[in-house]
Amino acid sequence: MNTKKITMISFGLLASVSGMAQPTITYAKHGLQAGDVHQTRKVTTVEPGASGANATWDFSACEIVGNLQTEALESSGGHIAVRNDGNVLFQFDVTPYGNDYYGYAANSYSIVYEQPVLKTRYPFGFLDQHSGEFLGYIAQGNSKTAVEGAYSSEVDSYGTLKLPNGVTLSNVLRVKTTEVQKRLYSNAVTDTEVKYLWYSQDFRYPVFVIIQHNIDQAKGTSNVTSSSYVNVAALSAPKAGVSNAGSEQVAEVDLPEVEYDIYPNPIQDVASITYKLPYDAKVSVAVYSITSVCLRKIVNNEFQTAGEYTYSYTPAIPGTYFVRFAFGDKVYTEQIVKQ
């Protein structure tokens, strides 16, 4: 078949070649994945510390003060859902371009964002930032209360992070997110959440998190809280480095080439999507519109053994589309056109 060969080179190798390359948050290394389990422990509250380039954050003296907390990631109606120990379900729509947050449900109480919060835009590097507004409602029983607000997200620093157990991680990025939510009751309530998340190139999920809440009511009262959490997998990293650091670690190895083909392209009617998988892996193949809307999930995070696979796809109308391939942690996108 007419194939396209892609040499898969790890981020670590690319960084070593470029020398001065800064760390980056990417979908391939840090995007939410159904089937994962992310575990954290609550630790003594600390201040977020300095921002800027080459910062050092020393949280090595933090003590564990909370029980093991587990988040399980699962597929839910085409989205990624995160379910925590309290059976609260958070809804996300994750694409190679970004991570949208649509709210959560807890027992009889839920928040639905009809205009979502863009949590992360991929790729996301030092000094990158984005902001916007969100709209939605709180549903409780038979009643609904409107909510609105604004959000921002920025990578405000990178540097070295020191954790308990003598673990030191370098090339860590810090993301600062701010959400200001106005709950439009008769007495308006404003909930401001500022969150700091430290991302390592060796772990998919944040290795340290600080959450600061400030709830103001119209009558003048306020409630301010702060909490800190550490990634359990990061705590088990060897003191001299992060190799073999746990189930969340992203392996930095060279993988064989993958061959894939979409034929014909441009498409007259039906396209044949074929790829040769040289190793066993979880595979996703999806088609997106030019505005990043997922139109069809051809393969939805399925475990496949090495071999050749063929699928067909018929675009609904003429236009430009993107086919996203994910083989394990490696993600590639191919443009197709229907005439």
Which of the residue ranges 45-49, 164-168, 281-285, 306-310 would you say has the lowest mean pLDDT? 281-285
How many angstroms separate the CA atoms of 218 and 113, rounded?
Answer: 23
Which is higher by pLDDT, 49 or 15?
49
The one-letter code for the residue type at 203 is F
Q: Is the peptide bond before 266 cis (omega within 30 degrees of 0)?
A: yes
How many angstroms separate the CA atoms of 325 and 267, rounded?
Answer: 18
* Residue 107 scores a pLDDT above 50: yes
Enclosing H/E stretch for 30: helix 27-30
Q: How confident is the model at residue 77 (pLDDT cuts 50, 70, 90)?
A: low
The answer to whether the CB of 173 falls within 8 A of the CB of 158 is: yes
Which is higher by pLDDT, 288 or 272?
272
Report pLDDT for 335.
86
**Interval 86-102: pLDDT, tens:** 888 899 998 888 899 99
Q: Which of 320, 324, 315, 312 is nearest to 336 (CA)?
A: 320
Segment 282-292 shows an average pLDDT of 83
Report pLDDT for 112.
93
Highest mean pLDDT among 81-90, 182-191, 201-210, 255-264: 201-210
Q: Which residues contact 4 (CB under 8 A, 6 or more apart)?
A: 259, 260, 261, 334
The answer to whether the CB of 106 falls within 8 A of the CB of 85 is: no
Report pLDDT for 25.
93
The DSSP call for residue 15 is H
Query: What is the DSSP code string of 254-314?
Result: -EEEEEEEEESSSBSS-EEEEEEESS-EEEEEEEEETTS-EEEEEEEEEEE-SEEEEEEE-
Alpha-carbon distance values, 259 to 7, 12, 146 (Å): 10, 23, 50
Report pLDDT for 18.
34
The answer to whether the CB of 275 falls within 8 A of the CB of 258 is: yes
Q: How confident is the model at residue 151 (pLDDT cuts 50, 70, 90)?
A: very high
* CATH, domain range 255-338: 2.60.40.1930
First to last CA, the chain: 22
Q: Which residues contact 143 (CB under 8 A, 6 or more apart)?
A: none
Mean of per-residue pLDDT scores for the chain: 83
Q: How confident is the model at residue 163 (pLDDT cuts 50, 70, 90)?
A: very high
Q: How confident is the model at residue 7 (pLDDT cuts 50, 70, 90)?
A: very low
Q: How confident is the model at residue 222 (pLDDT cuts 50, 70, 90)?
A: low
Sign of the C-alpha dihedral, residues 324, 288, 26, 37?
negative
How many angstroms separate the CA atoms of 178 and 273, rounded?
Answer: 41
Segment 56-85 shows an average pLDDT of 86
* Residue 302 scores a pLDDT above 60: yes
Q: 208: which 2 tokens?
A: 């340290």
Segment 35-59 shows an average pLDDT of 92
Q: How confident is the model at residue 328 (pLDDT cuts 50, 70, 90)?
A: confident
Q: How confident is the model at residue 76 (pLDDT cuts 50, 70, 90)?
A: low
With a pLDDT cut of 70, the percent of the chain lying above it is 84
**pTM of the predicted structure, to 2 decimals:** 0.65
Domain spans of the chain? 11-235, 255-338
The answer to whether the CB of 305 falls within 8 A of the CB of 271 is: no
Enclosing H/E stretch for 108: none
Segment 254-275 shows an average pLDDT of 86
Report pLDDT for 165.
86
